[in-house]
Structure 1
Amino acid sequence: MRIALGVEYDGTAYSGWQRQAHADSVQAVLESALSRVADAPVTVTCAGRTDAGVHATQQVVHLDPPAQRPERAWVRGVNSNLPGSVAVTWIRGVDERFHARFSATARRYRYVMLSHPVRPALNRDRVAWTWRTLAVEPMQEAARHLLGEHDFSAFRAVACQAKHPVRTVYHLSLTRVGDYLYLDIEANAFLHHMVRNIAGTLMAVGAGEREPDWVADVLAGRDRTRAGITAPGGGLYLVGVRYPESYGLPPMGRLPAFA
């Protein structure tokens, strides 16, 4: 039987999700732990690859285990073989039609910004820090231009391998809690660096460098060089993957929050 796993990780020490020959990756350490429990080589497929330094509270993977184990054995056994920065949070049996990537109907990310004159020490790899004061209201106004289906070429990394740049953003909001700003975004799928490029662009609006309507011009121009910076990977969290309800999988992980 195929199984699906929910995975949480701190991506600070990893080169990203995808297995690489000469660098540590989340996929490699997870597959190693699963292989120990299964007593055979295991390969997993994820809902969406994350970049170096990016975190997750709800990555979803599937695998066809070479051995049958009780659900408790998978969770506890795998976690006992994982480093402290990676953990399996749940497991579900699914039918063979389920695919962690292609069965997903939406993904949700949270991007965390810290607007404070002094750089953080403890949270330096978990938030995007700026010394500038960010005004959330202009950022919210600018974000409205990105809702719906658009060509997001202006927010696409040069190395993006997606076949086309059209994506549909279902939800995009910004909230402030003290010195922290949370950007929450959900879409059917994302381009390489899309969330980080949106965050960098909205930060320019929040800092007063650009007017909110500039974002509409950037979007229409489809030119990456006209948008804002690529915001740091450490502020980004994959927090949810949605699937048809028939699979019975949790749609969200916990939302990272700071105070």
Structure 2
Amino acid sequence: MRNIQLLIEYDGTHYAGWQWQKNEKTIQETLTGAIEQAIQEQIKLYGASRTDAGVHAFGQVANFKTISDIPPERLLLAINFYLPCDITVKKVTDVPESFHAQYGAKSKIYQYTLFNDWIRTSLNRYFCYLYGFHMDMNKIVTAARHLIGTHDFTSFTTKARYEKDRIRTIKSLDVKKEGKYIYFTIEADGFLYNMVRTIVGTLIEIGRGKIMVESIKDILDAKNRKAAGPTAPAKGLCLMEVKYDD
């Protein structure tokens, strides 16, 4: 029995997220179907991150077990042959039997892209949030620093009642502006539902002066979703990398 690791890129625009859902088209379902066609065998596919509807991935990781003896380089071509153009397997690797894409992940890096202009970008319209208002970048960067570390992020999830453990550790949160684009890059040991998008929505409000920089501590302490800012749209979010122990 082999354990196969996949490195995957996808445009999540037309999918209801990663995870299987009844009567909905998902990344997991589509990818599983392509793999099963390629190896002529039923498999169970495990993904590192359950990205939401409309969210993209540059570095999603998944794994499955198989009795197939197709070499990785041929398996890569075969799986991609059966996939639609908005999902691509970039790498296929044999890994130890104990490897699990979800449970073995040590941290994940997400990037949120905002296009700060009133005139839309046609080429990147599915991959960034169009937002025309002026924002104070110094306030955003300062507020972002207060979120780094281990905190209870109840105020930053829309499904707190389903999350037993709402403590997460943000290892880094960088905000950079390049031309009209603003990139929010965040690495953490895990994320609650809509956590990244709510953090971005809150930082946007701080940049506009609607929420004070000093309020971040109060928002965390409140443990109440109503204390934070709005949830930024899904299309600006992309899973960049999943990290594992060497």
TM range (shorter): over 0.9
Structure 1 residue identity aligned to 2:61: V
For structure 1, the 5+ residue unaligned runs are 246-259
SS at structure 1 position matched to 2:13 = helix
* Structure 2 counterparts to residues 211-222 of structure 1, below 5 A: 211-222=212-223
Q: Deviations over 1:103-129 (max 9, x none)?
A: 111000000011112233332221011
Following the alignment from structure 2 to structure 1, what is the Cα–Cα distance between the partners of residues 111 and 161?
Answer: 21
TM-fit CA distance, 1:50: 0.3
For structure 2, the 5+ residue unaligned runs are none
1:231 and 2:232 aligned:
yes
Following the alignment from structure 2 to structure 1, what is the Cα–Cα distance between the partners of residues 93 and 161?
Answer: 32
TM-fit CA distance, 1:224: 0.6
Structure 2 residue identity aligned to 1:36: Q
* Consecutive aligned runs of 4 or more in structure 1 exceeding 4 Å deviation: none
Show the counterpart of 2:176.
Answer: 175
* Structure 2 counterparts to residues 5-154 of structure 1, below 5 A: 5-154=6-155
Show the counterpart of 1:241.
Answer: 242
Question: Is residue 154–residue 221 contact of structure 1 (8 Å, CA) maintained in 2?
Answer: yes
Question: Is residue 160–residue 166 contact of structure 2 (8 Å, CA) maintained in 1?
Answer: no
Following the alignment from structure 2 to structure 1, what is the Cα–Cα distance between the partners of residues 47 and 5?
Answer: 10
SS at structure 1 position matched to 2:38 = helix
Following the alignment from structure 2 to structure 1, what is the Cα–Cα distance between the partners of residues 193 and 111?
Answer: 16
TM-fit CA distance, 1:66: 3.5
Question: Is residue 154–residue 160 contact of structure 2 (8 Å, CA) maintained in 1?
Answer: no
Following the alignment from structure 1 to structure 2, what is the Cα–Cα distance between the partners of residues 30 and 167?
Answer: 30
Show the counterpart of 2:196.
Answer: 195
Show the counterpart of 1:251.
Answer: none
SS at structure 2 position matched to 1:171 = strand
TM-fit CA distance, 1:93: 1.1
Question: Is residue 118–residue 130 contact of structure 2 (8 Å, CA) maintained in 1?
Answer: no
Following the alignment from structure 2 to structure 1, what is the Cα–Cα distance between the partners of residues 5 and 161?
Answer: 27
TM-score normalised by the chain length of structure 2: 0.96
SS at structure 1 position matched to 2:162 = coil
Structure 2 residue identity aligned to 1:95: P
SS at structure 2 position matched to 1:68 = coil
Following the alignment from structure 2 to structure 1, what is the Cα–Cα distance between the partners of residues 7 and 62?
Answer: 7
CA RMSD of aligned residues (A): 1.2
How many equivalent pairs are there?
245
Question: Is residue 3–residue 63 contact of structure 1 (8 Å, CA) maintained in 2?
Answer: yes
Question: Is residue 113–residue 183 contact of structure 2 (8 Å, CA) maintained in 1?
Answer: yes
TM-score normalised by the chain length of structure 1: 0.92
SS at structure 2 position matched to 1:64 = strand
Question: Is residue 142–residue 216 contact of structure 1 (8 Å, CA) maintained in 2?
Answer: no
Following the alignment from structure 2 to structure 1, what is the Cα–Cα distance between the partners of residues 232 and 44?
Answer: 31
Show the counterpart of 1:156.
Answer: 157
